[in-house]
Amino acid sequence: MTTIAPARTVASIVAGAPRSDAPGGRLTSTNPARLDDVVAEVLLGDAQTFVDACRAAREAQRDWAATPAPVRGRAIQQIGRLVEDNKEALARLVTREIGKPYAESLGEVQEIIDTCNFFVSEGRRLYGQTVPSEMPDKQLFTFRTPVGVAAIVTAGNFPVAVPSWYLVPALLCGNAVVWKPAEYAPALGDALAQLFLHGGLPAGVFNLVQCEGPVAFEGIERALEQGLVDKVGFTGSSDVGRRIGELCGRHLQTPCLELGGKNPLVVMPDADLALAVEGALFSGFGTAGQRCTSLGTAIVHESVYDDFVARLTRAVEEAPVGDPTRDVLYGPMIHERFAERFEGWLGLIRDHHTVSGSTGRGRITSDNPRRGFVGDPAAGLYYHPSIVSGVTIEDELYRTETFGPIVGVARFTHFDEAIELANAHGYGLSSAIYTNDPRAAFRFRERVTAGMVSINNSTSGAETHLPFGGNGKSGNGARQSGIWVLDQFTRWQSVNWDYAGRLQKAQMDVADVEADLSFRLPD
């Protein structure tokens, strides 16, 4: 018999101290794979808690910015080491609180370590530039300066990796942060916060607010009105992202928005079908389809369409699903809210669609079983995988981000049709094409609107030193990861230093170069 670990009580942490009150009420976090397992009791903050955290961050930020960047990098290095030393424990908590298979949980924690390792050196490489002046005895420089206070709100499908994409570079650049994790992953929010706080950050530089989404929105709104926040980072739905963009725009700020996706995977007639099916299986059904980069629609050439659908159906039917502590393709839905929404999205399946991939549809139960299920389906929020073939550009299923184990398959004849299907839904996060023709690969890259393109790889699988982000309904063009995220958490400052001892006016006191422009070579 498996022993259930005791529940922990977690709360907001402001200026280095936990809050013992619960002005926002109390919430219980349960294991979605074992609903009788209470992971955490959380004392929720309210909008004032969020404002208090932003004020604490504002008070601490100036001294942190004055700390030399290589020293700030040392703190990031120590955070990375702490995460590495606690890798298995944190991964086990990821599996327990959101139901991600343990192998994926280990990979998620490794992503934090990789992010810290990358940004350690950026503490010595926050380069500006020297720029030649058009006048003598004058030097021009550029410097990166921290934005100030960053308010970060993240989702729970990647409850520790994605927050690190914001938190690590923001802190390294000299900002103070207020982080609101997903309310359905509060134990993970607390665990990651403890690792950051024990890495050497001064009190107030890193603050955690445990609260619900609408409360965080109100807190950000009030903090912006009081001049306490200089940058908002948000990972979540496109609808909420629009509201945050509107709010920040009223304060002349540009948020960093990483939103949803309806990610296409194009299969050309010359594709390696076995490889394409493997990529579709992982990107469509890994994490139970609950990634922003999950495959939305496979767009398959008519000459290989039937073969692809048959192969993918067989692969999904044979894939192990169930207990995330075992070797499975995917485990449960993250939370009851996602299970309820997924059941609604199943209602987008129409009569002209063909559904395959499992022995049932909807929630896996003893009355609606899945052949080969691993574990006890009654224990958690487990759902059948669904392959929906026959999807067309007119279908609501084609246009809607479906956060769960469902993949559409559409047919195309000409390349232009594939491009239209890849773009017409308005999302632009991730994409993939399977082909051995370099012309098709380059043409796809040129014409797809997605911010990320994979060739003969899945739509999921970002590396920490490559820019991550989307366009259209998937984001506002902001990029995370690698050196590109530095532009989110720094501002450029230009300096001109004139030591001529007299006022030199740009564009006016500039020496001319005399030339004889009437000169012509003889015929």
Distances (CA, A) of 64 to 1, 97, 146: 49, 33, 10
Q: Which residues have CB under 8 Å from 240's CB, separation 6+? A: 213, 217, 234
**Where does 67-212 have alpha helices with state H?**
69-85, 87-98, 102-122, 161-172, 186-197
DSSP 102: H
How far apart are the C-alpha atoms of 281 and 279, rounded to whole Å?
Answer: 5
H helical segments located in 382-500: 396-399, 415-423, 438-447, 486-489
Count of beta carbons in the 10 Å neighbourhood of residue 456: 15
- In angstroms, the Cα distances linking 183 to 56, 153, 179, 209, 478 are 22, 10, 12, 10, 25
Q: Is 16 left (phi over 0), alpha (psi -120 to 50) or beta?
A: left
Tokens of 271: 């594709």
- Which of these is catalytic: 116, 211, 248, 292? 292
Beta bridge partner(s), residue 209 = none
At 234, which amino acid appears? F
Reference 364, options 93, 100, 32; nearest CA is 32
User: 């896996």: which residue's tokens?
Assistant: 364
User: Residue 230 has what DSSP assignment?
Assistant: S
Beta bridge partners of 26: 43
Three-state SS letters, 232-293: EEEECCHHHHHHHHHHHHHCCCCCEEECCCCEEEEECCCCCHHHHHHHHHHHHHHHHHCCCC
Do residues 91 and 108 lie in contact, with contact meaning Cβ atoms separated by under 8 Å?
yes
- Give yes or no for a contact between 370 and 377, defined as CB atoms under 8 angstroms apart: yes
Active site residue 292: yes
Instruction: Characterise 148 by phi-psi region: left (phi > 0), alpha (psi -120 to 50), beta (else).
Output: left
3-state helix, strand, coil in the chain (%, to 5): 35, 20, 40
Q: Which of 387, 379, 459, 404 lies closest to 427 in space, CA to CA? A: 459
Q: What is the largest CA-CA distance in the chain?
A: 98
Sequence-ordered list of residues with C-beta below 8 angstroms from that of 194, at least 6 positions apart, any chain? none
The residues annotated as belonging to the active site are: 292
